[in-house]
Structure formats: structure tokens, C-alpha cells
Chains A and B, each alone.
Chain A
Amino acid sequence: MKRLGVAGWVLLTLVATAAVAPWISPYAPDALDLVNRRGVPSMAHWFGTDDLGRDLLSRILFGARVSLAVGLLSALVAAGIGIGVGATSGYLGGGVDAALMRLTDAALSVPRLLLLMVASAVLSPSIPVLVVLVGLVGWMETARVTRAAFLAAREREFVLAALAAGASAARIVSEHLLPVAAPAIAVAATLAVGRGILLESALSFFGIGVQPPAASWGNMLYQAQSTMSTEPWLALFPGLFIFVTVAAINTVGDRFGEGTRI
């Protein structure tokens, strides 16, 4: 494996911290401490406490689990659909290709945040449903890059040779075309993780994403918005975590891109 770089380490640390959150977080994320409500950041509470006296650092650590999981899993959903659509389109070509690409264009033309807001306001989704919804609006980029890679690879000699040797369509797609498309797909999927985290946090910020008492970085900002003038730390820290995480993910995606550019 290549050098991780700062972004890779940041990301790894975040994921590891989120994974062991129950063991390292200083307090339970929903433990009330009514004496220390709205506490400024201190030695006992590094990031301060919220209006119910819950420790912000602990909530951020537990919120990381939700935010990262939604980002990662929704990107998986998006990549799955995108690869399916793109591979079908690029392999079959012709009318199917034209129809699927029209559909992709249409999907790209609906602003995804708005569509997602409508869907989640109407459905009031649980976290797994939220993952699917975020994934459903994020497949288009992966579909496009998969199709482009398939189209380019379809005419190459090793694919023609496999065709001539009588290989089945499933075999050609999985053994010959997908490996060629993999690097481009990896970049698109990585960027989808960052976008998924931003979308989840935006939804939760509007109060229609992850529902309290569960903590996500987005819904912590939603709750912080009303008390921003008196307790600014409640708004600063969760957003900072979203920002750093997405920046790290995008950097890693960029690196994939540089590594695969031929």
C-alpha cells in the first residue's frame, strides 16, 4: 500500500475512534448532568455541554459512528446502483444505453438535496432507510464513469479475444471490464462518501434526518442553531468535524485519481 498521507491518517483515526467510542468516550452520550448545563469547554468537558448537560465530546464521538456509517453505507448503495446502471449501459450500448443515460441525465437535473428533503420529510426514515435514500440520489456519477470505462474497454483486444473464445457476458463483465473500470469507480465512490456525509448532515440540520436522541453531527448543529449566541461551541465543534472528515475523504479520493491517471 502506498503512503497514507496526512489525510489518510486523519481518516483512519476518525474511523478507529468512532469504532471504539463506547470505550473511550468520557461520558455516556445521553448522560444528563443538570448541574452542568450549557457548560463552556473545560477540563472536565473538553467541548463543553449542551442544554441538558450532555457532554459534547461524547456526543461527537457517538455521532461520528452515525455520520460515518451513513456516509460509507450510502456510498456503497450508490456505487452498487451506479455500477449496475453504468455496466449495463456500457456493455449493451444502443437503445438501452441511450435510455439509461437519459435517465441518468434526468436524475442529475433534479437538485438532490431538495428531492432528498421531500423524501425524508414524507417518509420520516429510520437510519437504514436514510442510508438507502442518500444512496439513491448519489449513483449518477458512478454510472457515468463506469459506462465510460466500459465503452472504452469494450473494443480492446483482450475483450474481443474473450468474446471470440466464447466467454459469457457475465464473465466478460466481471473478469475483463470491471477490473479496468475499478480505479475510476473507486474515485467516484470515495467522493460519494463525502457527499453522503454532507447530505446526511444537511438533512439532519433541517431536523428531518437522524432523529434525536440519537446523535449525528448534523442534528447536533440543528439543536445548536437556536442557542448559538450564548453557546457557540455547540455549533462550532460538530461542524468542524464534518468539515475535517469530508476534506480528508476528498483528499484521499484525489489521490486515487492521481494514482490511476494513465
Chain B
Amino acid sequence: MGVPLTRRIAATVPLLFVISAVVFGLLHLVPGGPLAVYLSNPDVRPEDLERLKRALGLDQPVWRQYAQWLGGFLSGDWGFSYSDGRPVVDRVVERLPATLELVAASLVLASLFTVPLGLVAGLARGWPARVAALLSFAGLALPVFWFGLVLQLVFSLGLGWLPSSGRNTPGLEGLADRLAHLVLPATMLAAVHAAAWSRYLRAAVIDTYALPFVAAARARGAGERVVIWQHVLRPALLPVVTIVFLDTALMVAGTVVTESVFAWPGLGSLFTEALARRDYTVLMALLMVASTAVVVCNLIADLVYPLIDPRVRT
């Protein structure tokens, strides 16, 4: 396999340091800094503010604060939430399952949309191909939050088929209820990615279809169904799988919008809550989690590719 795992990981670590420094700088160098919320609060006296600053280490130079934060972050001590005083790690961990559930469901949904859309757009003739290509093109221009509102409008408020918010009906714990709550947010999160992926798949399918081994398979007497599913789709899916890995991290970030529209109690809504209260420690942790997800997913895509595509192995 190309580059050894250790060297790949070694290359991504400095990347994460750069990201964390940039984000930390942004949060701490802005006017007012982390305590800006208290400045407008008449109940907080100037001397209290000074005391808070000292207690939180905000009177130190920024580079020293960063060093302290980094040391803590690396050893699993992510600090305490500014809004409720609980450990940041706890707040993040308790929200994680909801977000993972949403992202997993969206991945499945997006994949289910991608294959037929890409195949039809790439191989069919006439209007079905056009409609499929148009759908994936439209998906890319969709303002996601608006799409969510429209889904809500049609399927919850209009038709009344599905619940419009939350992860389950209070008091109910059944699987059917959970799934019903999951459908709309997952569709919303999946739409843009399904659109992008099916465009990649379409291009790959068209390229693969023209290759000699496809003609050879047909010459051997393989039916069109076998040719498409086994000889065209399989190799065409390989590059798409890489994109799927890369985009999974973006999906995690995309939950901020989805969870806000559907009041889904995951990391995305934790982010909007933290933002509204200027909860810097939580924001910093979430931005790092999201960036790490991107870097790790990149790494996984690099590592997985040779496993699924023997041609890349050297």
C-alpha cells in the first residue's frame, strides 16, 4: 500500500494544530473576548468580571491560554461550559448518539438515492436521464434549511404524516415513533449529498460503460442487467465511495442546520445553543470535533481506497 499509515497520520497531526490555533485565535482575539456577554449585564460588577477573568485564566497572554487549552484538550479535559458549568466533555458525549443516529440514517438514505439517480442519469436515454440529471443538479442549488422547511410544511403541517420536530414523542419510546421522527431530518440532510454523489456516479458510469471489458462481457453473452450491475456499477462506485467518506464529515457539520429546523437534540443544536450564549469552551470543542472529523475522514478515505480498489495497490 502506498504511504505507510504512520506517515499519513503524522501528516494530518500538524494540520489539526494549525486549525486549532486559528479557531482559538478567532474566538479569543475578537473584541470583548469570551466574557463579552457579561459586559452588558448590570448585575455583574467590574470587580466580579476581573475575578472571573483571573479564575478562567483570561488575564494571561493568548498564547499561554492556548497552550493551557491544548494541554487540557489533548488529555481529555475540555474545560467547563460557560453557560451551565458542567464539563464540556459530558455535554458533547450526551449529544453524540442523536447526531450519529441522524448521520447514519442520512448516509443510508443518500446512498439509496444515489445509485438509481446516477445510473439512470448516466445510462438511460431520453427524458428519464434528463429528469435524473436535473434532480441531482437541483439538489446542489437547494438552500438546505429551506428544503427542511418545505418538508415540514408538506409532510407535517400539510399532510400530517410525520412529526415535525424532536427525536421521539415525549413519553413514547417505540421504534416506529423514533423512525417516524427520523425520516424528515434524515431526508433533509441526505438531499444535497445524494445530489453531489449521483453526479459523480453518473460521470463514472458513463466513463466505465465505454471501457473494453464492458464490451467483452457483452460479447460473452452477458445480459444487459448483469453487465450494468456487475461490470459497470461496481467499478463506477469506487470513486464515489471515496467521496462518501469525505462527505460524511461534512454531514456532521450539516447537522447544525438540520437539527435547528427539526429541533433534533444532537451536537448541531448544542452548537446553536452554545453560540447563542457565547459558550466559548463548548464552541471550541465542537469546532475541533468537526474539524477532526474532516481530517480523520480524509485519512480513512485515503486508507480505504486501496482496499476496495486493487488497481491502486502498488
Q: Known: A115-B287, A239-B149. Contact between A109 and B143, CB under 8 A?
A: no
- Nearest Cβ on chain A to B155's Cβ, whole angstroms: 13
A11 close to B (CB within 8 Å): no
- Nearest Cβ on chain A to B116's Cβ, whole angstroms: 22
Q: Provide the B140-155 mask, 1 if CB < 8 A to any CB of A, else 0.
A: 1111111101101100
Name A243's contact: one of B142, B276, B298 (CB within 8 Å): B142
Q: Decide: B27 and A106 in contact? CB cutoff 8 A.
A: no
| Chain A residue contacts of B152, Cβ below 8 A | 228
- Nearest Cβ on chain A to B16's Cβ, whole angstroms: 8
- Nearest Cβ on chain A to B192's Cβ, whole angstroms: 10
Compute how far the CA of A122 lies from the CA of B35 in the bound complex, rounded to whole angstroms: 11
| Chain A residue contacts of B257, Cβ below 8 A | 113, 202, 205
Q: Decide: B149 and A221 in contact? CB cutoff 8 A.
A: yes
| Chain B residue contacts of A110, Cβ below 8 A | 19, 22-23, 287, 290-291, 294
| Chain B residue contacts of A224, Cβ below 8 A | 149
A242 close to B (CB within 8 Å): yes
Q: Decide: B26 and A119 in contact? CB cutoff 8 A.
A: yes
Name B15's contact: one of A102, A122, A243, A246 (CB within 8 Å): A102
| Contacts of B235-274 to chain A: CB distance below 8 A | 249-250, 252-254, 256-257, 260, 271-272
B286 close to A (CB within 8 Å): yes
Q: Provide the A198-239 mask, 1 if CB < 8 A to any CB of B, else 0.
A: 100110011010000000000001001100110010011011
| Chain B residue contacts of A111, Cβ below 8 A | 249-250, 252-253, 287, 290-291, 294
Q: Decide: A206 and B260 in contact? CB cutoff 8 A.
A: yes
| Chain B residue contacts of A121, Cβ below 8 A | 275-276, 278
| Contacts of A111-168 to chain B: CB distance below 8 A | 111, 113-115, 117-119, 121-123
* Interface size of B in residues (CB-CB distance below 8 Å): 47
Compute how far the CA of A249 lies from the CA of B152 in the bound complex, rounded to whole angstroms: 27
Q: Decide: B23 and A102 in contact? CB cutoff 8 A.
A: no
| Chain A residue contacts of B153, Cβ below 8 A | 228, 232, 235-236
| Chain A residue contacts of B291, Cβ below 8 A | 109-111
Q: Decide: A117 and B18 in contact? CB cutoff 8 A.
A: no
B137 close to A (CB within 8 Å): yes
B221 close to A (CB within 8 Å): no
B14 close to A (CB within 8 Å): yes
B304 close to A (CB within 8 Å): no
Q: Known: A111-B294, A114-B287. Contact between A106 and B18, CB under 8 A?
A: yes
Q: Decide: A115 and B26 in contact? CB cutoff 8 A.
A: yes
| Chain B residue contacts of A225, Cβ below 8 A | 149
| Chain B residue contacts of A243, Cβ below 8 A | 138, 141-143, 146
Per DSSP, are chain B's interface residues mostly helix, strand or loop, or mixed? Answer: helix
Q: Decide: B146 and A239 in contact? CB cutoff 8 A.
A: yes
User: Closest A-chain residue to B146, C-beta based?
Assistant: A239
Name B19's contact: one of A106, A198, A246, A249 (CB within 8 Å): A106
Compute how far the CA of A119 lies from the CA of B257 in the bound complex, rounded to whole angstroms: 16
The A-B contact count (CB < 8 A) is 122
Compute how far the CA of A205 lies from the CA of B272 in the bound complex, rounded to whole angstroms: 12
Compute how far the CA of A113 lies from the CA of B268 in the bound complex, rounded to whole angstroms: 12
Compute how far the CA of A106 lies from the CA of B22 in the bound complex, rounded to whole angstroms: 9
| Chain B residue contacts of A206, Cβ below 8 A | 260, 272
B102 close to A (CB within 8 Å): no
Q: Known: A111-B290, A229-B157. Contact between A117 and B275, CB under 8 A?
A: yes
Compute how far the CA of A243 lies from the CA of B253 in the bound complex, rounded to whole angstroms: 21
Q: Decide: B137 and A202 in contact? CB cutoff 8 A.
A: no
| Chain A residue contacts of B30, Cβ below 8 A | 122-123
| Chain B residue contacts of A228, Cβ below 8 A | 149, 152-153, 157
| Chain B residue contacts of A24, Cβ below 8 A | none
User: Closest B-chain residue to A197, C-beta based?
Assistant: B143
- Nearest Cβ on chain A to B40's Cβ, whole angstroms: 12
Compute how far the CA of A127 lies from the CA of B171 in the bound complex, rounded to whole angstroms: 45
| Contacts of B100-159 to chain A: CB distance below 8 A | 137-138, 140-147, 149-150, 152-153, 157
Q: Decide: B137 and A103 in contact? CB cutoff 8 A.
A: no
**A→B interface (CB under 8 Å):** 102-103, 105-111, 113-115, 117-119, 121-123, 194, 198, 201-202, 205-206, 208, 221, 224-225, 228-229, 232, 235-236, 238-239, 242-244, 246-247, 249-251
Apart from A106-B15, A229-B157, what 9 extra A-B contacts exist at CB < 8 Å?
A113-B256, A114-B290, A118-B27, A119-B26, A121-B275, A122-B30, A235-B153, A243-B142, A249-B141
* A-B CB contact pairs (8 Å), 9 listed: A111-B290, A115-B23, A117-B275, A206-B260, A221-B146, A235-B146, A235-B149, A238-B146, A239-B143
